Amino acid sequence: MAYLVLARKWRPQYFTDLIGQEHVSQTLTNAIRSGRIHHAFLFTGARGVGKTSAARILAKALNCEEGLSDQPCGACSSCTEITAGQGLDVLEIDGASNTGVDDIRELRENIRYLPSRSRFKIFIIDEVHMLSTNAFNALLKTLEEPPEHAKFIFATTEPHKIPITILSRCQRFDFRKIPLARVAKRLREISDAEALTISDLSLSLVARQGEGSMRDALSTLDQVIAFSGDEVEDNAVQTLLGMVDRRLLLDTVEAVLQRDSRRALDAVHRVDQLGLALRQFIRDLLEMFRGMVICKVVDEPAEMLDLVGDELQELKTLSAEASLEDLQRIVTLIMKTQSELVHSSYPLLTLEMSLVRLATLAPSQELGKLISHIERLEKRLGSAPRAEVQSTRSIPNTPIPNTQRAPQQPTPERQQYSSPERQQYPAAEIPPPKKSEAPVAVSIDNKGWLGLVEKVKQSRPMLGSVLEHGRLLKLDLPILEVGYAKESFMISQLQEREISHDLEVLATDYFGQSVKLRVTPIDVEQQNTPPSLVEDRKAKETDRMRRLREDAMEHPALKSVQDIFNGKIKKVIPIDKGFV
Protein backbone atom coordinates (compact mmCIF):
# COMPACT_ATOMS: atom_id res chain seq x y z
CA MET A 1 0.00 0.00 0.00
CA ALA A 2 1.31 3.47 -0.93
CA TYR A 3 2.56 5.66 1.92
CA LEU A 4 0.05 8.29 3.02
CA VAL A 5 1.60 11.50 4.28
CA LEU A 6 0.75 12.63 7.79
CA ALA A 7 -1.14 15.70 6.58
CA ARG A 8 -3.62 13.48 4.71
CA LYS A 9 -3.62 10.61 7.17
CA TRP A 10 -4.48 12.84 10.10
CA ARG A 11 -6.76 15.22 8.26
CA PRO A 12 -9.73 16.37 10.43
CA GLN A 13 -12.84 14.27 9.84
CA TYR A 14 -15.22 15.93 12.29
CA PHE A 15 -15.86 19.46 13.50
CA THR A 16 -14.27 18.56 16.83
CA ASP A 17 -11.01 17.77 15.02
CA LEU A 18 -10.60 21.32 13.74
CA ILE A 19 -7.82 22.64 15.97
CA GLY A 20 -7.97 26.35 16.75
CA GLN A 21 -11.17 26.97 14.73
CA GLU A 22 -13.77 26.47 17.44
CA HIS A 23 -15.64 29.62 16.40
CA VAL A 24 -16.26 28.10 12.95
CA SER A 25 -17.14 24.65 14.28
CA GLN A 26 -19.63 26.05 16.80
CA THR A 27 -21.41 28.22 14.24
CA LEU A 28 -21.75 25.46 11.65
CA THR A 29 -22.83 22.94 14.27
CA ASN A 30 -25.59 25.23 15.55
CA ALA A 31 -26.72 26.01 11.99
CA ILE A 32 -27.06 22.30 11.17
CA ARG A 33 -28.90 21.53 14.41
CA SER A 34 -31.36 24.36 13.85
CA GLY A 35 -31.78 23.66 10.13
CA ARG A 36 -30.78 27.24 9.21
CA ILE A 37 -28.27 26.26 6.56
CA HIS A 38 -27.20 28.96 4.16
CA HIS A 39 -26.81 28.18 0.47
CA ALA A 40 -23.29 29.71 0.14
CA PHE A 41 -20.32 29.68 2.52
CA LEU A 42 -16.98 31.45 2.22
CA PHE A 43 -14.01 30.08 4.20
CA THR A 44 -11.04 32.45 4.36
CA GLY A 45 -7.70 32.24 6.13
CA ALA A 46 -4.04 31.32 5.81
CA ARG A 47 -2.83 28.13 4.21
CA GLY A 48 -3.13 24.85 6.07
CA VAL A 49 -5.53 25.98 8.80
CA GLY A 50 -8.42 23.68 7.81
CA LYS A 51 -10.54 25.50 5.19
CA THR A 52 -10.89 22.60 2.73
CA SER A 53 -11.15 20.09 5.58
CA ALA A 54 -14.02 22.10 7.09
CA ALA A 55 -15.71 22.18 3.67
CA ARG A 56 -15.57 18.38 3.42
CA ILE A 57 -16.79 17.94 6.98
CA LEU A 58 -19.73 20.25 6.23
CA ALA A 59 -20.46 18.32 3.05
CA LYS A 60 -20.48 15.02 5.00
CA ALA A 61 -22.75 16.54 7.65
CA LEU A 62 -25.25 17.63 4.97
CA ASN A 63 -25.20 14.40 2.93
CA CYS A 64 -24.62 11.72 5.56
CA GLU A 65 -26.92 8.75 4.95
CA GLU A 66 -27.65 8.56 8.67
CA GLY A 67 -29.40 11.90 8.39
CA LEU A 68 -28.63 15.61 8.62
CA SER A 69 -26.30 15.82 11.62
CA ASP A 70 -23.42 17.89 12.94
CA GLN A 71 -21.70 14.56 13.70
CA PRO A 72 -21.57 12.56 10.42
CA CYS A 73 -21.11 8.84 10.82
CA GLY A 74 -18.02 8.67 8.62
CA ALA A 75 -18.84 5.08 7.68
CA CYS A 76 -21.61 5.34 5.09
CA SER A 77 -20.84 5.39 1.39
CA SER A 78 -21.49 9.11 1.13
CA CYS A 79 -19.08 9.94 3.99
CA THR A 80 -16.34 7.61 2.73
CA GLU A 81 -16.60 8.97 -0.82
CA ILE A 82 -16.37 12.57 0.39
CA THR A 83 -13.39 11.68 2.61
CA ALA A 84 -11.62 10.19 -0.39
CA GLY A 85 -12.60 13.17 -2.57
CA GLN A 86 -14.74 11.02 -4.87
CA GLY A 87 -18.29 12.01 -3.93
CA LEU A 88 -20.68 11.91 -6.87
CA ASP A 89 -22.73 14.81 -5.58
CA VAL A 90 -19.85 16.72 -4.03
CA LEU A 91 -17.74 18.42 -6.70
CA GLU A 92 -14.39 19.88 -5.70
CA ILE A 93 -13.27 22.47 -8.23
CA ASP A 94 -9.86 24.12 -8.34
CA GLY A 95 -10.48 27.79 -8.97
CA ALA A 96 -6.92 28.29 -10.20
CA SER A 97 -7.42 25.76 -13.02
CA ASN A 98 -11.01 26.61 -13.91
CA THR A 99 -10.92 30.36 -14.17
CA GLY A 100 -12.86 30.97 -17.37
CA VAL A 101 -16.46 31.85 -17.92
CA ASP A 102 -17.01 28.61 -19.84
CA ASP A 103 -16.14 26.58 -16.74
CA ILE A 104 -18.75 28.48 -14.72
CA ARG A 105 -21.34 28.02 -17.46
CA GLU A 106 -20.72 24.28 -17.32
CA LEU A 107 -21.16 24.45 -13.55
CA ARG A 108 -24.47 26.29 -13.98
CA GLU A 109 -25.70 23.63 -16.35
CA ASN A 110 -24.76 20.94 -13.84
CA ILE A 111 -26.59 22.71 -11.01
CA ARG A 112 -29.95 22.24 -12.68
CA TYR A 113 -29.83 18.47 -12.22
CA LEU A 114 -30.87 16.94 -8.93
CA PRO A 115 -28.26 15.05 -6.85
CA SER A 116 -27.99 11.40 -7.84
CA ARG A 117 -28.37 9.86 -4.37
CA SER A 118 -27.47 12.51 -1.79
CA ARG A 119 -29.50 15.14 -0.06
CA PHE A 120 -27.67 18.13 -1.63
CA LYS A 121 -25.45 18.80 -4.58
CA ILE A 122 -22.47 20.58 -3.10
CA PHE A 123 -19.86 22.59 -5.02
CA ILE A 124 -16.55 23.20 -3.25
CA ILE A 125 -14.47 25.78 -5.14
CA ASP A 126 -10.94 26.15 -3.75
CA GLU A 127 -8.94 29.35 -4.36
CA VAL A 128 -12.07 30.99 -5.64
CA HIS A 129 -10.33 34.36 -5.88
CA MET A 130 -8.56 33.06 -9.00
CA LEU A 131 -11.77 33.16 -11.05
CA SER A 132 -11.92 35.82 -13.74
CA THR A 133 -14.27 38.77 -13.60
CA ASN A 134 -16.52 37.24 -16.27
CA ALA A 135 -16.62 33.98 -14.34
CA PHE A 136 -17.73 35.80 -11.19
CA ASN A 137 -20.40 37.62 -13.18
CA ALA A 138 -21.64 34.33 -14.56
CA LEU A 139 -21.77 32.86 -11.04
CA LEU A 140 -23.54 35.86 -9.54
CA LYS A 141 -27.09 35.04 -10.69
CA THR A 142 -26.78 31.45 -9.54
CA LEU A 143 -25.65 32.53 -6.08
CA GLU A 144 -28.51 35.00 -5.84
CA GLU A 145 -31.24 32.46 -6.59
CA PRO A 146 -29.78 28.96 -6.31
CA PRO A 147 -31.92 25.80 -6.49
CA GLU A 148 -32.88 24.30 -3.16
CA HIS A 149 -30.73 21.23 -3.68
CA ALA A 150 -27.49 23.18 -4.32
CA LYS A 151 -24.95 24.41 -1.80
CA PHE A 152 -21.75 26.36 -2.46
CA ILE A 153 -18.63 26.33 -0.32
CA PHE A 154 -15.84 28.70 -1.37
CA ALA A 155 -12.32 28.66 0.07
CA THR A 156 -9.67 31.34 -0.42
CA THR A 157 -6.54 32.82 1.11
CA GLU A 158 -7.19 36.25 -0.44
CA PRO A 159 -10.78 37.32 0.17
CA HIS A 160 -10.04 40.93 -0.82
CA LYS A 161 -9.81 39.80 -4.45
CA ILE A 162 -13.38 38.53 -4.48
CA PRO A 163 -16.00 41.01 -5.79
CA ILE A 164 -18.20 42.51 -3.12
CA THR A 165 -21.27 41.29 -4.98
CA ILE A 166 -20.14 37.71 -4.36
CA LEU A 167 -19.13 38.36 -0.76
CA SER A 168 -22.53 39.83 0.07
CA ARG A 169 -24.24 36.59 -0.95
CA CYS A 170 -22.11 34.30 1.23
CA GLN A 171 -21.76 33.54 4.90
CA ARG A 172 -18.14 34.33 5.64
CA PHE A 173 -15.99 32.41 8.14
CA ASP A 174 -12.49 33.62 8.88
CA PHE A 175 -10.10 30.84 9.88
CA ARG A 176 -7.33 31.87 12.25
CA LYS A 177 -3.73 30.79 12.46
CA ILE A 178 -3.35 27.96 14.93
CA PRO A 179 -1.44 28.89 18.13
CA LEU A 180 1.95 27.25 18.56
CA ALA A 181 0.96 25.48 21.75
CA ARG A 182 -2.09 23.92 20.07
CA VAL A 183 -0.02 22.76 17.10
CA ALA A 184 2.63 21.26 19.40
CA LYS A 185 -0.05 19.47 21.42
CA ARG A 186 -1.57 17.99 18.28
CA LEU A 187 1.86 16.94 17.02
CA ARG A 188 2.47 15.16 20.33
CA GLU A 189 -0.78 13.21 19.91
CA ILE A 190 0.15 12.22 16.37
CA SER A 191 3.73 11.30 17.37
CA ASP A 192 2.48 9.06 20.15
CA ALA A 193 0.04 7.42 17.76
CA GLU A 194 2.84 6.88 15.23
CA ALA A 195 5.15 5.47 17.95
CA LEU A 196 7.76 8.20 17.46
CA THR A 197 10.39 9.09 20.05
CA ILE A 198 10.72 12.87 19.94
CA SER A 199 11.17 15.53 22.59
CA ASP A 200 8.86 18.41 23.32
CA LEU A 201 11.62 20.81 22.25
CA SER A 202 11.83 19.24 18.81
CA LEU A 203 8.06 19.29 18.47
CA SER A 204 8.02 22.96 19.38
CA LEU A 205 10.65 23.63 16.69
CA VAL A 206 8.57 21.75 14.14
CA ALA A 207 5.44 23.58 15.22
CA ARG A 208 7.20 26.94 14.97
CA GLN A 209 8.36 26.06 11.47
CA GLY A 210 4.71 25.65 10.48
CA GLU A 211 4.00 29.31 11.36
CA GLY A 212 0.41 28.65 12.42
CA SER A 213 -0.33 26.08 9.70
CA MET A 214 -1.11 22.55 10.84
CA ARG A 215 -0.54 21.14 7.36
CA ASP A 216 2.90 22.76 7.11
CA ALA A 217 3.81 21.48 10.56
CA LEU A 218 2.80 17.92 9.64
CA SER A 219 4.78 18.15 6.40
CA THR A 220 7.82 19.26 8.40
CA LEU A 221 7.32 16.39 10.82
CA ASP A 222 7.25 14.00 7.84
CA GLN A 223 10.58 15.45 6.74
CA VAL A 224 12.08 15.02 10.21
CA ILE A 225 10.97 11.41 10.37
CA ALA A 226 12.49 10.73 6.96
CA PHE A 227 15.78 12.22 8.18
CA SER A 228 16.00 10.68 11.65
CA GLY A 229 13.72 7.68 11.66
CA ASP A 230 11.50 6.80 14.59
CA GLU A 231 13.95 8.23 17.14
CA VAL A 232 14.38 11.95 16.62
CA GLU A 233 17.15 13.94 18.30
CA ASP A 234 17.04 17.67 18.96
CA ASN A 235 20.30 18.40 17.16
CA ALA A 236 19.08 16.57 14.08
CA VAL A 237 15.92 18.70 13.97
CA GLN A 238 17.89 21.94 14.28
CA THR A 239 20.37 20.84 11.62
CA LEU A 240 17.67 19.72 9.22
CA LEU A 241 15.56 22.84 9.57
CA GLY A 242 18.56 25.22 9.63
CA MET A 243 17.25 26.74 12.83
CA VAL A 244 19.35 28.54 15.42
CA ASP A 245 19.89 26.81 18.74
CA ARG A 246 17.80 28.56 21.36
CA ARG A 247 20.72 28.47 23.78
CA LEU A 248 22.75 30.43 21.25
CA LEU A 249 19.96 33.00 20.95
CA LEU A 250 19.75 33.32 24.72
CA ASP A 251 23.53 33.85 24.93
CA THR A 252 23.29 36.62 22.35
CA VAL A 253 20.42 38.32 24.15
CA GLU A 254 22.26 38.16 27.46
CA ALA A 255 25.39 39.61 25.84
CA VAL A 256 23.42 42.56 24.48
CA LEU A 257 21.63 43.23 27.77
CA GLN A 258 24.84 42.91 29.81
CA ARG A 259 26.74 45.06 27.26
CA ASP A 260 29.34 42.36 26.63
CA SER A 261 30.65 43.04 23.11
CA ARG A 262 33.10 40.12 23.17
CA ARG A 263 30.39 37.64 24.01
CA ALA A 264 28.15 39.03 21.27
CA LEU A 265 30.91 38.61 18.70
CA ASP A 266 31.50 35.05 19.90
CA ALA A 267 27.83 34.30 19.27
CA VAL A 268 28.11 35.57 15.69
CA HIS A 269 31.26 33.47 15.23
CA ARG A 270 29.43 30.35 16.38
CA VAL A 271 26.58 31.09 13.99
CA ASP A 272 29.07 31.36 11.14
CA GLN A 273 30.95 28.21 12.16
CA LEU A 274 27.74 26.18 12.32
CA GLY A 275 26.81 27.36 8.84
CA LEU A 276 23.49 28.81 9.98
CA ALA A 277 21.71 31.38 7.86
CA LEU A 278 22.47 34.87 9.16
CA ARG A 279 19.07 36.18 8.12
CA GLN A 280 17.40 33.35 10.02
CA PHE A 281 19.54 34.16 13.06
CA ILE A 282 18.65 37.87 13.03
CA ARG A 283 14.98 37.00 12.48
CA ASP A 284 14.96 34.67 15.49
CA LEU A 285 16.82 37.29 17.54
CA LEU A 286 14.22 39.88 16.60
CA GLU A 287 11.47 37.49 17.69
CA MET A 288 13.20 37.06 21.06
CA PHE A 289 13.34 40.80 21.75
CA ARG A 290 9.77 41.21 20.51
CA GLY A 291 8.71 38.64 23.08
CA MET A 292 10.57 40.54 25.79
CA VAL A 293 8.75 43.76 24.86
CA ILE A 294 5.42 41.95 25.05
CA CYS A 295 6.37 40.52 28.45
CA LYS A 296 6.99 44.09 29.59
CA VAL A 297 3.68 45.58 28.47
CA VAL A 298 1.21 42.68 28.72
CA ASP A 299 0.06 41.04 31.93
CA GLU A 300 -0.60 37.69 30.23
CA PRO A 301 2.00 37.46 27.42
CA ALA A 302 1.28 33.78 26.77
CA GLU A 303 -1.84 34.82 24.88
CA MET A 304 0.22 36.77 22.33
CA LEU A 305 3.41 34.70 22.17
CA ASP A 306 3.76 31.32 20.51
CA LEU A 307 5.95 29.78 23.19
CA VAL A 308 6.03 26.36 24.78
CA GLY A 309 7.68 24.86 27.83
CA ASP A 310 10.05 27.11 29.76
CA GLU A 311 10.54 29.57 26.89
CA LEU A 312 8.06 32.07 28.30
CA GLN A 313 9.68 32.07 31.74
CA GLU A 314 13.10 32.60 30.16
CA LEU A 315 11.84 35.66 28.31
CA LYS A 316 10.24 37.09 31.44
CA THR A 317 13.53 36.71 33.32
CA LEU A 318 15.51 38.41 30.55
CA SER A 319 13.00 41.23 30.10
CA ALA A 320 13.39 42.14 33.77
CA GLU A 321 17.04 43.09 33.12
CA ALA A 322 16.23 45.92 30.68
CA SER A 323 13.90 48.89 30.50
CA LEU A 324 11.09 49.08 27.97
CA GLU A 325 12.77 52.04 26.24
CA ASP A 326 16.01 50.09 25.76
CA LEU A 327 14.16 47.08 24.37
CA GLN A 328 12.28 49.27 21.90
CA ARG A 329 15.54 50.82 20.69
CA ILE A 330 17.09 47.37 20.31
CA VAL A 331 14.12 46.09 18.28
CA THR A 332 14.35 49.13 16.00
CA LEU A 333 18.07 48.58 15.38
CA ILE A 334 17.61 44.85 14.72
CA MET A 335 14.88 45.58 12.19
CA LYS A 336 17.25 48.00 10.47
CA THR A 337 19.97 45.34 10.47
CA GLN A 338 17.57 42.81 9.00
CA SER A 339 16.91 45.03 6.00
CA GLU A 340 20.62 45.83 5.62
CA LEU A 341 21.57 42.15 5.48
CA VAL A 342 19.48 41.69 2.33
CA HIS A 343 21.62 44.10 0.30
CA SER A 344 24.94 43.92 2.13
CA SER A 345 28.05 42.65 0.33
CA TYR A 346 29.53 41.72 3.73
CA PRO A 347 26.61 40.25 5.71
CA LEU A 348 28.80 38.77 8.45
CA LEU A 349 30.54 42.10 9.05
CA THR A 350 27.18 43.89 9.03
CA LEU A 351 25.83 41.53 11.67
CA GLU A 352 28.97 41.82 13.83
CA MET A 353 28.95 45.61 13.81
CA SER A 354 25.23 45.69 14.57
CA LEU A 355 25.64 43.45 17.61
CA VAL A 356 28.61 45.49 18.84
CA ARG A 357 26.48 48.60 18.54
CA LEU A 358 23.66 46.93 20.45
CA ALA A 359 26.08 45.79 23.16
CA THR A 360 27.50 49.30 23.55
CA LEU A 361 24.20 51.13 23.38
CA ALA A 362 24.01 53.64 26.20
CA PRO A 363 21.13 52.95 28.59
CA SER A 364 18.21 55.30 28.26
CA GLN A 365 16.53 57.10 31.12
CA GLU A 366 12.81 57.21 31.64
CA LEU A 367 11.23 60.52 30.72
CA GLY A 368 9.32 60.64 33.99
CA LYS A 369 12.51 60.33 36.02
CA LEU A 370 14.21 63.08 34.01
CA ILE A 371 11.24 65.38 34.53
CA SER A 372 11.26 64.71 38.26
CA HIS A 373 15.02 65.41 38.38
CA ILE A 374 14.51 68.69 36.55
CA GLU A 375 11.68 69.69 38.88
CA ARG A 376 13.87 69.02 41.92
CA LEU A 377 16.66 71.00 40.31
CA GLU A 378 14.33 73.95 39.71
CA LYS A 379 13.28 73.88 43.35
CA ARG A 380 16.89 73.87 44.46
CA LEU A 381 17.70 76.76 42.16
CA GLY A 382 14.73 78.69 43.46
CA SER A 383 15.80 78.17 47.06
CA ALA A 384 19.52 78.86 46.45
CA PRO A 385 21.08 81.89 48.24
CA ARG A 386 21.04 85.11 46.28
CA ALA A 387 24.83 85.42 46.18
CA GLU A 388 25.18 81.94 44.70
CA VAL A 389 22.65 82.65 41.99
CA GLN A 390 24.54 85.83 41.13
CA SER A 391 27.80 83.96 40.90
CA THR A 392 26.42 81.72 38.15
CA ARG A 393 25.47 84.76 36.05
CA SER A 394 22.26 82.99 35.10
CA ILE A 395 20.03 86.01 35.84
CA PRO A 396 20.69 89.06 33.68
CA ASN A 397 20.59 92.56 35.12
CA THR A 398 21.14 91.25 38.68
CA PRO A 399 22.94 93.75 40.93
CA ILE A 400 26.53 92.73 41.61
CA PRO A 401 27.98 92.94 45.12
CA ASN A 402 30.30 95.90 45.70
CA THR A 403 33.21 93.55 46.32
CA GLN A 404 32.99 92.29 42.74
CA ARG A 405 31.81 95.37 40.90
CA ALA A 406 34.16 96.96 38.42
CA PRO A 407 35.39 100.44 39.33
CA GLN A 408 33.06 102.82 37.60
CA GLN A 409 34.37 105.78 35.72
CA PRO A 410 33.70 108.66 38.09
CA THR A 411 31.91 111.24 36.12
CA PRO A 412 32.46 114.02 38.71
CA GLU A 413 36.15 114.30 37.81
CA ARG A 414 35.34 114.43 34.17
CA GLN A 415 32.67 117.04 34.83
CA GLN A 416 35.09 119.16 36.83
CA TYR A 417 37.42 119.29 33.85
CA SER A 418 34.63 120.17 31.46
CA SER A 419 32.86 122.65 33.72
CA PRO A 420 33.66 126.39 33.58
CA GLU A 421 35.00 126.33 37.12
CA ARG A 422 37.11 123.25 36.63
CA GLN A 423 40.34 122.97 38.54
CA GLN A 424 43.65 121.91 37.13
CA TYR A 425 44.54 118.27 37.20
CA PRO A 426 46.59 117.71 40.39
CA ALA A 427 50.08 116.92 39.17
CA ALA A 428 51.12 115.74 42.60
CA GLU A 429 49.07 112.59 42.16
CA ILE A 430 51.64 111.27 39.68
CA PRO A 431 55.07 112.24 40.89
CA PRO A 432 57.76 112.49 38.21
CA PRO A 433 60.43 109.81 38.24
CA LYS A 434 63.78 110.58 39.74
CA LYS A 435 66.68 110.99 37.34
CA SER A 436 68.66 108.27 39.00
CA GLU A 437 65.85 105.71 38.74
CA ALA A 438 63.91 104.08 35.93
CA PRO A 439 60.76 105.89 34.83
CA VAL A 440 57.97 105.41 37.28
CA ALA A 441 54.90 103.71 35.83
CA VAL A 442 51.79 105.83 35.96
CA SER A 443 48.69 103.85 36.87
CA ILE A 444 46.30 103.48 34.00
CA ASP A 445 43.50 103.59 36.50
CA ASN A 446 43.97 107.37 36.49
CA LYS A 447 40.60 108.62 35.31
CA GLY A 448 42.16 111.55 33.50
CA TRP A 449 43.93 109.21 31.08
CA LEU A 450 40.93 106.91 30.70
CA GLY A 451 38.60 109.85 30.18
CA LEU A 452 40.88 111.33 27.54
CA VAL A 453 41.06 108.04 25.59
CA GLU A 454 37.26 107.72 25.66
CA LYS A 455 36.81 111.30 24.49
CA VAL A 456 39.24 110.77 21.59
CA LYS A 457 37.50 107.52 20.59
CA GLN A 458 34.15 109.32 20.37
CA SER A 459 35.36 111.89 17.87
CA ARG A 460 38.35 110.09 16.31
CA PRO A 461 37.88 106.28 16.66
CA MET A 462 41.10 105.41 14.80
CA LEU A 463 43.18 107.82 16.87
CA GLY A 464 41.53 106.57 20.05
CA SER A 465 42.49 102.98 19.11
CA VAL A 466 46.11 104.12 18.73
CA LEU A 467 46.03 105.69 22.20
CA GLU A 468 44.66 102.44 23.72
CA HIS A 469 47.85 100.66 22.68
CA GLY A 470 50.05 103.35 24.18
CA ARG A 471 51.59 103.27 27.66
CA LEU A 472 51.10 106.33 29.88
CA LEU A 473 54.56 107.38 31.08
CA LYS A 474 53.79 110.83 32.46
CA LEU A 475 50.70 112.93 33.05
CA ASP A 476 51.96 116.20 34.63
CA LEU A 477 50.01 118.89 32.89
CA PRO A 478 50.80 120.48 30.62
CA ILE A 479 53.03 117.45 29.78
CA LEU A 480 51.43 114.24 28.48
CA GLU A 481 54.00 111.56 27.68
CA VAL A 482 52.96 108.31 25.97
CA GLY A 483 55.32 105.43 25.16
CA TYR A 484 55.23 102.98 22.26
CA ALA A 485 57.47 100.14 21.18
CA LYS A 486 60.39 101.17 19.07
CA GLU A 487 59.83 101.25 15.33
CA SER A 488 56.12 100.46 15.73
CA PHE A 489 53.54 101.66 13.24
CA MET A 490 51.64 103.60 15.92
CA ILE A 491 54.62 105.65 17.04
CA SER A 492 55.20 106.76 13.46
CA GLN A 493 51.57 107.86 13.23
CA LEU A 494 51.64 109.98 16.39
CA GLN A 495 54.93 111.54 15.39
CA GLU A 496 53.24 113.09 12.38
CA ARG A 497 52.68 116.77 13.13
CA GLU A 498 49.06 116.90 11.98
CA ILE A 499 47.96 113.93 14.08
CA SER A 500 49.83 115.03 17.18
CA HIS A 501 48.35 118.52 16.84
CA ASP A 502 44.80 117.11 16.65
CA LEU A 503 45.46 115.04 19.73
CA GLU A 504 46.79 118.04 21.66
CA VAL A 505 43.65 120.01 20.74
CA LEU A 506 41.40 117.20 22.01
CA ALA A 507 43.44 116.89 25.21
CA THR A 508 43.35 120.64 25.78
CA ASP A 509 39.59 120.63 25.40
CA TYR A 510 39.25 117.70 27.83
CA PHE A 511 41.61 118.97 30.58
CA GLY A 512 40.72 122.67 30.13
CA GLN A 513 44.32 123.82 29.77
CA SER A 514 47.11 123.63 27.25
CA VAL A 515 48.61 120.14 26.79
CA LYS A 516 51.97 119.24 25.24
CA LEU A 517 52.19 115.70 23.79
CA ARG A 518 55.40 113.67 23.94
CA VAL A 519 55.71 110.34 22.10
CA THR A 520 58.61 108.28 23.47
CA PRO A 521 60.03 105.07 21.97
CA ILE A 522 60.52 102.43 24.70
CA ASP A 523 61.82 98.90 25.03
CA VAL A 524 58.83 96.99 26.36
CA GLU A 525 60.76 93.89 27.40
CA GLN A 526 63.48 95.65 29.40
CA GLN A 527 61.98 98.77 30.89
CA ASN A 528 59.59 98.84 33.84
CA THR A 529 56.68 100.34 31.93
CA PRO A 530 52.98 100.31 32.76
CA PRO A 531 50.68 98.18 30.60
CA SER A 532 48.55 99.70 27.88
CA LEU A 533 44.80 99.91 28.21
CA VAL A 534 44.42 96.99 25.79
CA GLU A 535 46.80 94.78 27.80
CA ASP A 536 45.11 95.67 31.06
CA ARG A 537 41.67 94.87 29.61
CA LYS A 538 42.87 91.50 28.35
CA ALA A 539 44.38 90.66 31.72
CA LYS A 540 41.16 91.56 33.50
CA GLU A 541 39.11 89.55 31.01
CA THR A 542 41.33 86.50 31.51
CA ASP A 543 41.03 86.80 35.26
CA ARG A 544 37.31 87.38 34.93
CA MET A 545 36.79 84.20 32.90
CA ARG A 546 38.92 82.24 35.34
CA ARG A 547 36.89 83.38 38.33
CA LEU A 548 33.65 82.93 36.38
CA ARG A 549 34.50 79.32 35.60
CA GLU A 550 35.58 78.65 39.19
CA ASP A 551 32.31 80.10 40.50
CA ALA A 552 30.30 78.06 38.01
CA MET A 553 32.14 74.83 38.80
CA GLU A 554 31.58 75.28 42.53
CA HIS A 555 27.89 76.16 42.29
CA PRO A 556 25.76 73.40 43.91
CA ALA A 557 22.99 73.66 41.30
CA LEU A 558 25.45 73.04 38.47
CA LYS A 559 26.92 70.11 40.35
CA SER A 560 23.42 68.64 40.65
CA VAL A 561 22.92 68.97 36.89
CA GLN A 562 26.21 67.15 36.31
CA ASP A 563 25.20 64.35 38.67
CA ILE A 564 21.78 63.90 37.07
CA PHE A 565 22.83 63.99 33.42
CA ASN A 566 26.44 62.80 33.86
CA GLY A 567 27.56 65.87 31.91
CA LYS A 568 30.79 67.79 31.46
CA ILE A 569 31.33 71.55 31.29
CA LYS A 570 32.92 72.47 27.98
CA LYS A 571 32.51 76.23 27.97
CA VAL A 572 31.38 78.99 30.32
CA ILE A 573 29.80 82.00 28.64
CA PRO A 574 29.12 85.17 30.66
CA ILE A 575 25.64 86.56 30.06
CA ASP A 576 26.05 89.82 31.99
CA LYS A 577 28.60 92.55 31.35
CA GLY A 578 28.91 93.63 34.95
CA PHE A 579 31.14 90.80 36.10
CA VAL A 580 34.82 91.68 36.39
pLDDT tens for each residue of 194-245: 988 898 888 888 988 888 899 999 999 999 998 888 888 888 887 787 767 7
Q: Are residues 150 and 292 in the same domain?
A: no
CA distances for 249 relative to 28, 243, 255, 325, angstroms: 43, 11, 10, 21
* One domain for residues 192 and 256: no
pLDDT digits (tens, 9 = 90+) for 255-314: 998 888 899 899 889 888 877 788 888 988 998 899 889 888 888 877 777 776 677 788
pLDDT given for residue 366 in this prediction? 60
Same domain, 85 and 220: no
154 and 285 assigned to the same domain: no
Residue 204 and residue 87 share a domain = no
- Indicate whether 270 and 313 sit together in one domain: yes
Q: Does 168 share its domain with 272?
A: no
End-of-domain residue from the set 155, 174, 193: 174
Instruction: Tell whether 337 and 201 lie within a shared domain.
Output: no
* Assigned domain for 208 exists: yes
Boundary (domain end) residue, out of 225, 241, 257: 241
Contacts of 331 (CB under 8 A, 6+ apart): 286, 289, 290, 293
**Per-residue confidence (pLDDT) for residue 438, from 0 to 100:** 41
Measured distance between the N- and C-terminal CA atoms of the chain, rounded to whole angstroms: 105
Q: Are 89 and 149 in contact (CB under 8 A)?
A: no
**DSSP per-residue letters across 250-287:** HHHHHHHHTT-HHHHHHHHHHHHHTT--HHHHHHHHHH
Structural domain harbouring 124: 6-174
Q: Any idea what the CATH number is for the domain that residue 343 is in? A: 1.20.272.10
| Helix, strand, or coil (residue 194) | coil
Rounded CA gap, 93 and 80, in Å?
19
337, 326, 334, 390: which is closest to 361 by C-alpha? 326
Q: Which CATH number covers residue 34? A: 3.40.50.300
Q: Are residues 95 and 68 in the same domain?
A: yes
Alpha-carbon distances of 484 from 122, 132, 447, 534, rounded to whole Å: 116, 102, 20, 13
pLDDT: which is higher, 580 or 152: 152
Number of domains in the chain: 3
Q: Is residue 368 part of a domain?
A: no
Q: Report the C-alpha gap between 60 and 85 in whole angstroms.
A: 11
pLDDT digits (tens, 9 = 90+) for 166-184: 999 999 999 999 988 889 8
Boundary-marking domain end, from 174, 197, 216? 174
Residues 185 and 160 in one domain: no
pTM (whole model) above 0.75: no
Is residue 125 in a domain?
yes
Reduce the DSSP state of residue 151 to 3 states and report it: strand
